[in-house]
């Protein structure tokens, strides 16, 4: 089979998209033949604000039901593939929405949230993010990890501090993930992960989704799809072919105000970083370019079987193990 045929038959999963949710994006997902995506519905929002975001996402799914369906289990991912739709897996980039209530974990699971990043860049009640001194997983955080394990919710560590991340990996009874990260071996950055961190999560049954967010790629805004594949290959060589997937971190459609919200603590307080200009790698400018990634992986020597694993099968296996179905 050629690259287009392989892409057509593959389960294609993006482990992180935080784009501007609208019809134009959903049509581009369809163009890219995206089977499912972890769609962010919470960054700095509290419980109530996050519930409002979930309501809005539910309304968008209903209004665009010719293109989308809501994912609760891996069976829904396969149903999305069969129906030619994109499955929406709702996720958080911050456990702040749980506030100080362990019971909120079950509530959000019932609403369809299957993936939660433990911290977003800074400290919360669970632990510490990657932009400040890391005190590790709190006692309350251990209770949250246990409850996420119980209900079947993936612990995401992408922007979590190294100490907190390591302690979550050890504490969790189910596999955990960096849903979207890059290797510091190619570029030093607080959000990138060392070879040791990548090996530790893989050695403990965890998973790594590789992002292509330009500020963290070696070539920055001059990156091409080949630079993205270089990062995938680098991580692949550390974690192996069963513990790796895609997590682009597409922010498609967003403008200045969105990135200002992300780069200030709690969305408004002290500045944490400046991303600078954001241009996705040439060849992967939009979600609709996903077929190019399949072609690029094949071009760089990955086998058809390896490509299908990287593009989505590994994500399905991870989520089945964590979600229980």
Low-confidence ranges of the chain (pLDDT < 50): none
Q: What is the pLDDT of residue 202?
A: 98
Question: For residues 115 and 38, what is the distance between their CA atoms, to the nearest angstrom?
Answer: 7
Cα–chain-centroid distance for residue 37?
A: 8
CA dihedral sign, ordered 267, 206, 236, 290: negative
What is the pLDDT, as a whole number, of residue 143? 98
Q: What 3-state DSSP class applies to 20?
A: coil
**In which region does residue 249 sit, left (phi positive, over 0), alpha (psi from -120 to 50) or beta (all else)?**
left
Structure tokens at 80: 């999305």
Nearest to 137 by CA among 149, 121, 150, 125: 125
Burial of residue 23, with CB atoms counted within 10 A of its CB: 0-12 exposed, 13-18 middle, 19 or more buried: exposed
- Name residue 69's beta-bridge partners: 87
pLDDT for the residue numbered 274: 86
The residue segments making up the domain with residue 149 are 3-323
At residue 278, the pLDDT reads 86
pLDDT at 266: 92
Residues 6+ apart with CB under 8 A from 121: 129, 130, 131, 159, 265, 272
C-alpha 77/C-alpha 71 separation (Å) is: 6
User: In this structure, what CATH number is given to the domain that contains residue 99?
Assistant: 3.20.20.140
State how many domains the chain has.
1
Cα distances from 91 to residues 40, 51, 126, 155, 190, in angstroms, run: 5, 12, 17, 10, 22
Q: What is the pLDDT of residue 215?
A: 87
The confidence score (pLDDT) of residue 214 equals 87
């Amino acid at each position: 089979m050629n690259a287009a045929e392989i892409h057509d038959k593959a389960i294609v999963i993006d482990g992180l998209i935080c784009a501007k949710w609208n019809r134009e994006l959903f049509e581009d997902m369809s163009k890219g033949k995206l089977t499912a995506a972890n769609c962010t519905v919470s960054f700095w929002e509290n419980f109530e604000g996050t519930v409002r975001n979930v309501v809005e996402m539910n309304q968008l799914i209903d209004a665009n039901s010719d293109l989308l369906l809501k994912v609760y289990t891996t069976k829904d991912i396969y149903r999305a593939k069969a129906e030619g739709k994109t499955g929406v897996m709702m996720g958080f980039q911050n456990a702040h929405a749980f506030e100080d209530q362990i019971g909120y974990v079950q509530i959000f699971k019932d609403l369809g949230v299957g993936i939660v990043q433990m911290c977003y860049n800074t400290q919360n009640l669970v632990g510490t993010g990657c932009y400040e001194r890391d005190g590790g997983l709190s006692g309350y955080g251990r209770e949250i990890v246990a409850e996420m394990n119980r209900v079947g919710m993936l612990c995401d560590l992408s922007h979590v501090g190294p100490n907190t991340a390591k302690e979550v990996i050890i504490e969790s009874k189910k596999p955990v993930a960096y849903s979207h990260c890059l290797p510091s071996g190619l570029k030093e950055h607080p959000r990138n992960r060392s070879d040791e961190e990548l090996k530790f999560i893989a050695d403990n049954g965890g998973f790594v989704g590789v992002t292509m967010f330009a500020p963290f790629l070696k070539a920055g805004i001059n990156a091409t799809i080949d630079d993205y594949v270089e990062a995938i290959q680098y991580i692949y060589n550390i974690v192996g072919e069963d513990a790796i997937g895609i997590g682009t971190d597409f922010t498609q459609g967003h403008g200045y105000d969105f990135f200002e919200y992300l780069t200030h603590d709690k969305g408004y307080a002290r500045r944490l970083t400046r991303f600078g200009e954001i241009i996705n790698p040439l060849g992967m400018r939009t979600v609709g370019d996903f077929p190019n990634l399949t072609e690029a992986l094949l071009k760089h020597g990955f086998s058809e079987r390896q490509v299908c694993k990287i593009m989505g099968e590994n994500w399905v296996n991870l989520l089945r193990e964590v979600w229980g179905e």
